[in-house]
């Protein structure tokens, strides 16, 4: 990574699934006439990815049979997720200089690692949003996202759909572990816990206060 990178007009939102990261990035960008770098914005990287440099991000691109995706062991699934996050962070750090050069505040739903965030941005430009890890495990297929519904359909096509679903849930349990939650909780960055009684505007106001906006 280029150690000279430092983003004074970027505000990063990290945390667990179902904590509201995407919602906050969109809300703050709208509120402050900024730029929203939403979930997986690195998919817009303009160059063709090299499978040797980005084996995890090109895994699905080069996949022949999507059933192989859901048949992986829970540990293989977690390792792939971890690798994809690392590779996504690399792409983000390549993309952000141009995005930030537009002069507007930039709100980022990011995969950049905690260590890198500590180097590239002021400490009050990162907020951790947390939800109960069990929500991510048990409500994964509740969302209408086309990607999640596609995976769910693949599992129903398996010879033993229940076994396929259970295998996938075990992978989610590894990813959404208490250890991962605690790492974010004790990262040193400000933390906001999901609260169903708080409105989107109220949560955005909490982030504004932390970011100094």
Domain positions in the chain: 10-211
Instruction: Report the CATH fold assignment for 10-211.
Output: Rossmann fold (3.40.50)
Exposure pattern of 9-24 as b/e (b: 16+ CB <10 Å)? bbbbbbbbbbbbbebb
Identify the band that residue 2 occupies on the pLDDT scale cut at 50, 70 and 90: low
- Which pLDDT does position 77 carry in this prediction? 95
- Which pLDDT does position 73 carry in this prediction? 96
Average pLDDT for 50-76: 94
**What pTM, to 2 d.p., does this model score?**
0.90
Q: Is the dihedral of CA 117, 77, 80, 68 positive or negative?
A: negative
pLDDT in tens, 90-148: 999 999 999 999 989 999 999 999 999 999 999 899 999 999 888 877 777 777 778 88
pLDDT in tens, 3-55: 567 899 999 999 998 899 999 999 999 999 999 999 899 999 999 999 999 99
Q: Are 172 and 109 in contact (CB under 8 A)?
A: no
């Amino acid at each position: 990574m280029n150690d000279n990178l430092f983003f004074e007009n970027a505000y990063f939102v990290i945390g667990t699934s179902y904590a509201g990261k995407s919602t906050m990035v969109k809300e703050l960008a709208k509120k402050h006439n900024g730029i929203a770098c939403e979930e997986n914005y690195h998919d817009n990287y303009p160059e063709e990815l090299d499978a040797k440099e980005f084996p995890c991000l090109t895994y699905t691109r080069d996949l022949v049979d999507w059933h192989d995706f859901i048949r992986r062991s829970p540990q293989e699934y977690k390792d792939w997720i971890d690798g994809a996050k690392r590779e996504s962070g690399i792409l983000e750090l390549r993309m952000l200089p141009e995005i930030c050069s537009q002069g507007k505040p930039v709100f980022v739903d990011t995969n950049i690692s905690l260590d890198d965030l500590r180097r590239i941005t002021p400490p009050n430009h990162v907020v951790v949003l947390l939800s109960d890890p069990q929500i991510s495990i048990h409500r994964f297929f509740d969302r209408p996202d086309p990607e999640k519904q596609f995976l769910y359909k693949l599992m129903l096509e398996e010879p033993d759909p229940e076994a396929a679903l259970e295998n996938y849930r075990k992978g989610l349990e590894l990813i959404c572990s208490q250890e991962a939650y605690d790492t974010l909780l004790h990262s040193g960055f400000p933390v906001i816990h999901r609260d169903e009684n708080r409105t989107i505007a109220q949560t955005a106001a909490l982030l504004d206060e932390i970011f100094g906006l």
